[in-house]
């Protein structure tokens, strides 16, 4: 499984990202990720959630690929659905 | 005059003043013509209650009448590291400095920005109708950002490792307040080229706020947006350079400043709402070039051309080419067709590859 996460925009416009590959991650991380992805129903989310949001807000871009499928979701910091918040929070900590 | 007011309005607390039996036209009249005591009463019952946060629109016009044209009504709130807005009031217009640097910077910076707009361009606050200027500080935890949320400015404290608090640079405050001005004027869509223009107008009036505060001519300014935001752990002058886009920082952790300085290098990806903070480098440089060529304080002529463009000549979906044409038109209207000012503007846009 591969997870690519990018935070862009904000006042600074500086992009920060993290990429997590299950092959090179610890069991704890993999376990936690699978759990968060499952409970967030990530693969059922639309490709774009919300528009650009307010000026200088952050944009979040998540790409996840597992054995069966791949999906990408782009949203802004005010349009994160409740179910996705724990996953976004976890990925932000990994940056 | 007090005798003519229904006794219902003199009931304290439990009753909601905005549902008071005095109709708005009467309250307006009291604020305009009442003696000081009555005026104070009318304003205080309409204004000070925090309950009114939700009813601002209804009383906005009345409140503006109580302040002389161009007078400021700043309020600073503290979100106490939560993400609830606006937070608790910590400084009102006219209150003395508090012990909190972020609060004082937000207050003073909003004042400097307001004064630029009012004293130079005769603009009465964000909406040009005297609207209150609200700022919230200490938003979120270690929040590396500042933003305009459609009604107010919001500032984080920074994480302390890479970023300082976001009120530390007066141009950041000018930038955020200008998003409000743009919203009430051209209302440039925050995506792609219109979004980059939106960003650029914020950087332009942000840097002009700083230059005016420091009384700098264009050749004395560093033209850096967000100087002071980076901690000493970061290799960089600031967040963006209007004079030399792409040169502001180059750091092992944060990467290199991605801004182009020419239309030929336009960013076309999906990050950052289509690169609004990236492509703003192109119109930013055009402004810098125009200001340097025209001479004098940058807020005087170059800033005036840009201000009138924003207010009179741009639609919400304008692209760079349209904006360039609009600045040329504004320059012609202000200083004459074929004037040196207009020529400087044309040349600036040609140098960045837009015209």
**A10-28 confidence digits (pLDDT tens):** 999 999 999 999 999 999 9
State whether residue A37 sits within 8 Å of chain B by CB: no
Q: Are residues B207 and B330 in the same domain?
A: yes
Asked if the model's pLDDT at residue A87 lies above 70, the reply is yes
Q: Same domain for B200 and B281?
A: yes
B176 in any annotated domain: no
Domain's final residue, options B21, B46, B66:
B66
Is B337 found in the same domain as B229?
Answer: yes
- Are residues B85 and B60 both part of a single domain? no
What is the Rg, in whole angstroms, of the alpha carbon atoms belonging to chain A? 13
Structure confidence at residue B47 (pLDDT) = 53
Indicate if B218 and B322 belong to the same structural domain: yes
Q: Do B271 and A12 touch (CB under 8 A)?
A: no
CATH number at residue B79: 3.10.170.10
Position B69 scores a pLDDT of 78
Give yes or no for a contact between A18 and A9, defined as CB atoms under 8 angstroms apart. Answer: no
Residues B162 and B222 in one domain: no
Q: What's the pLDDT score for residue B3?
A: 43
Single out the residue of B95, B136, B99, B93 nearest to residue B114, CA to CA.
Answer: B93
pLDDT at B11: 43
Q: Is the dihedral of CA B98, B104, B106, B112 positive or negative?
A: positive
Which residue in A has a C-alpha nearest to residue B279's C-alpha? A13
Q: Is A88 on the interface with B (CB under 8 A)?
A: no
Could you say which of B111, B134, B168 is where a domain stops?
A: B168
**How far are the Cα atoms of A32, A38, A92, B35 from residue A27, in angstroms, in the given order?**
8, 16, 19, 74
State the pLDDT at residue B50. Answer: 42
pLDDT at B6: 46
Tell me whether residue B263 is in a domain. yes
Pairing, β B255-256 against β B250-251:
antiparallel
Q: Is residue B186 part of a domain?
A: no
Q: How far off is chain A from B284, nearest CA to CA, in Å?
A: 15
* Residue B181: inside a domain: no
Q: Which residues of A touch B189 (CB under 8 A)?
A: 52
Residue B67 has what pLDDT?
A: 73
Its domain, for residue B27, covers: 2-66
Task: Judge whether residue A90 has pLDDT over 90.
Answer: yes
Q: Are B55 and B18 in contact (CB under 8 A)?
A: yes
Whether complex ipTM tops 0.85: yes
Residue A51 predicted with pLDDT over 90: no
Cβ of A56 within 8 Å of Cβ of B147? The answer is yes
Q: Measured between CB atoms, which of A8, A51, A54 is closest to B272?
A: A8
Mean pLDDT score across all residues of chain A: 96
DSSP codes joined into one string, B95-106: PPP-S-HHHHHH
Residues of chain B short of pLDDT 50, as ranges, are: 1-15, 17-21, 48-60
- Residues of chain A with Cβ-Cβ distance to B239 below 8 Å are 11-14
> Which chain A residues are closer than 8 Å to B178 by Cβ?
none
**Interface contact flag, A51 B255, Cβ < 8 Å:** no
**Whether residue B104 is found in the same domain as residue B62:** no
Higher local confidence (pLDDT), B28 or A34: A34
What is the tens place of the pLDDT at every residue in B153-177?
999 999 999 999 999 999 999 999 9
Asked if residue B109 is part of any domain, the answer here is yes
Torsion of CA B79, B83, B86, B92, to 10 degrees: 20
Q: Report how many domains make up chain B.
A: 3
Say whether both B62 and B78 belong to one domain: no
d(Cα B57, Cα B87) in Å, to the nearest integer? 19
pTM as predicted: 0.86
Same domain for B80 and B60: no
Question: How many DSSP H helices and E strands does chain A contain?
Answer: 2, 5
Same domain, residue pair B30 and B147: no
Do B125 and B257 have their domain in common?
A: no
Which of B33, B66, B99 is at the close of a domain? Answer: B66
Gap from A6 CA to chain B (nearest CA, Å): 8
Within 13 Å, how many C-alpha atoms sit on residue A30's CB side? 10
Question: Which residues of B participate in catalysis according to the annotation?
Answer: 176, 277
Residues B60 and B78 grouped into a single domain:
no
Domain annotation covers residue B175: no
β-pair partners for A61: A6, A74
The whole-angstrom separation of Cα B337 and Cα B322 is 18
pLDDT of residue B43: 57
């Amino acid at each position: 499984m591969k997870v690519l996460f990018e935070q862009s925009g904000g006042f600074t416009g500086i992009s920060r990202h993290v990429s997590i590959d299950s092959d090179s991650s610890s069991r704890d991380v993999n376990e936690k990720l699978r759990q968060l992805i499952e409970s967030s129903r990530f693969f059922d989310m639309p490709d774009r959630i919300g528009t650009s949001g307010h000026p200088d807000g952050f944009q979040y871009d998540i790409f996840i690929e597992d054995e069966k499928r791949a999906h990408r979701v782009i949203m802004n910091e005010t349009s994160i659905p409740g179910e996705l918040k724990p996953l976004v929070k976890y990925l932000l900590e990994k940056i | 005059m007090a005798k003519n007011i229904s006794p219902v309005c003199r009931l304290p607390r439990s009753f909601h003043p905005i549902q008071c039996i005095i109709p708005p036209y009467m309250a307006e009249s009291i604020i305009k013509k009442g003696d000081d005591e009555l005026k104070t009463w009318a304003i205080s019952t309409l204004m000070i209650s925090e309950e009114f946060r939700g009813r601002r629109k209804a009383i906005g016009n009345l409140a503006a009448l109580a302040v002389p044209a161009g007078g400021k009504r700043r309020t600073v709130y503290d979100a106490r590291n939560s993400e609830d807005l606006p937070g608790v009031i910590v400084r009102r217009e006219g209150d003395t400095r508090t012990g909190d640097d972020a609060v004082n910077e937000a207050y003073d910076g909003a004042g400097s920005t307001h004064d630029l707009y009012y004293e130079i361009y005769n603009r009465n606050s964000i909406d040009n109708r005297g609207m209150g200027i609200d700022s919230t500080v200490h938003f979120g935890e270690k929040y590396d950002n500042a933003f305009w949320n459609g009604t107010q400015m919001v500032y984080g404290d920074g994480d302390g490792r890479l970023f300082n608090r976001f009120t530390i640079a007066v141009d950041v405050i000018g930038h955020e307040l200008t998003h409000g001005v743009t919203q009430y004027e051209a209302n440039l869509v925050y995506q792609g080229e219109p979004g980059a223009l939106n960003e650029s107008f914020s950087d332009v009036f942000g840097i002009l706020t700083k230059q005016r505060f420091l009384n700098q001519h264009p050749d004395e300014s560093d033209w850096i947006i967000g100087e002071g935001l980076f901690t000493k752990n970061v290799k960089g002058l600031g967040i963006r350079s209007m004079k030399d886009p792409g040169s502001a920082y180059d750091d092992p952790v944060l990467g290199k400043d991605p801004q182009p300085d020419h239309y030929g290098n336009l960013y076309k990806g999906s990050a950052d709402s289509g690169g609004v903070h990236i492509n703003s480098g192109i119109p930013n440089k055009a402004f810098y070039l125009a200001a340097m060529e025209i001479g004098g304080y940058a807020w005087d002529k170059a800033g005036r051309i840009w201000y009138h463009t924003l207010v009179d000549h741009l639609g919400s979906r304008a692209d760079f080419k349209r904006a360039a044409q609009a600045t040329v038109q504004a320059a012609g209207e202000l200083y004459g067709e074929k004037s040196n000012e207009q020529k400087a503007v044309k040349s600036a846009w040609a140098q960045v590859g837009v015209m």
